[in-house]
Amino acid sequence: MFDDLLHVFVPRTYKLPNGKVVKEKVNKTPYLVILVILMIIGCCRIAKVDFGLLIKRGHFFFDMLSKMFPCNWEYWPLMKKAMLDTIIMSLLGSVVGCLIGLPVSFYISTNFKIPKWITVSSRVFLTLFRTLPIMVFACFFQLLFGMGTFTGTMAITVFTFTICTKMMYEYIETVDMGAYEAIQSTGASRPKCIWTAIWPQVKGYYFSTVLLTLESNVKSASILGYVGAGGIGIVLDSQLSLRKYANLGLVVLVMTVTVVALEFLARYGRRKLSDV
């Protein structure tokens, strides 16, 4: 019993009749499992996880939900503008960000013989920006442009640009370059070559990237109002601090319905695009 347990971690050695010693291959899985369990315990300590507290006070969560629903429908005319703002902000931001991102992603993929220092330096720059949450962009643009929807749109644009560029250049590097070289050998200019040989290969992926970023941007645009970048977040914050939970319920309901509807539209669009 104990012996079996030990050999989960220490590989067995066998002595063959001809005197040769054979060692079992080391199995890494048990070590990884122990590492993950240790990490979980450590993280529970740091994050102060306490499920007893959750069970004891869990009813507060549902108390808030019951205060929010049924929601106050009369609030709709007042929040209509903010919701529309959020949708337009994310739509504009996603489209403009992806439009700028496309040529840049061609420029920094390695298969077009662009000087290496340009590709590497712009990739480092992009990666640094890509890891920052959208809220940070919003905060910085808020300093520059002041409060308002323009700030939010700029934040979404920059954020979308970094994500779209990363996804596109990784995809462009996997395309088939044969057609490109064939057209280049006929003497066509570089933009012409890209337009006829590369673009048809990447356009499906590109449009599905646009839809994907649009979907995630509408979701994250709700946070932007918190740092003064316009949209539904401002309404959310104000109704919360006024403790008007019925109004808050309507805001949350509208946001949820919008995201679900957009997800369905995006899925429909992607299915259509995959046929093209």
Partner 1 sequence: MNERIEDKLKKYPAVWVKFVVMAIFIAIMFLLGKITLQFNEITELGVRLIKAALYGLLTPSWDMITDLSPNGLLYMVIETFAIGFLGTIIGAVLSIPLAFLCSHRTAPRWVNVIFIFLVTVVRSFPTIMIAIMFVKTVGSGPFAGVLTMVIGSTGMITKMTMEAIEDLDNGVVEALDASGCNAFTKIRLGILPQLSAAMLSNILYRLDINVKNASILGLVGAGGIGAALIMGIEYRKWNEVGALLWGIVILVLLIELVSTKIRKSISSKD
Residues that bind partner 1 in the complex, under the rule CB under 8 A = 36, 39-40, 42-44, 46-50, 53-54, 57-58, 60-61, 64-65, 84-85, 88-89, 91-92, 95-96, 127-128, 131-136, 139-140, 143-151, 153, 219, 222-223, 226-227, 233, 236, 240, 248, 252, 255-256, 259-260, 263
| Distance of closest approach, residue 85 Cβ to partner 1, in angstroms | 5
| Distance of closest approach, residue 113 Cβ to partner 1, in angstroms | 26
| Distance of closest approach, residue 156 Cβ to partner 1, in angstroms | 12
| Distance of closest approach, residue 14 Cβ to partner 1, in angstroms | 26
| Local structure of residue 47 (DSSP, 8 states) | T
DSSP labels, 199-225:
HHHHHHHHHHHHHHHHHHHHHHHHHHG
| Distance of closest approach, residue 2 Cβ to partner 1, in angstroms | 28
Burial of residue 172 (CB within 10 Å: 0-12, 13-18, 19+) is: buried
Nearer CB in complex with partner 1: 8/84: 84
Give the integer Cα–Cα distance in Å for 96 and 164: 11
Nearer CB in complex with partner 1: 70/133: 133
Question: What 3-state DSSP class applies to 54?
Answer: helix
Nearer CB in complex with partner 1: 107/226: 226
- Alpha-helical (H) ranges within 19-175 are 29-46, 51-57, 59-68, 76-107, 116-130, 134-145, 149-172
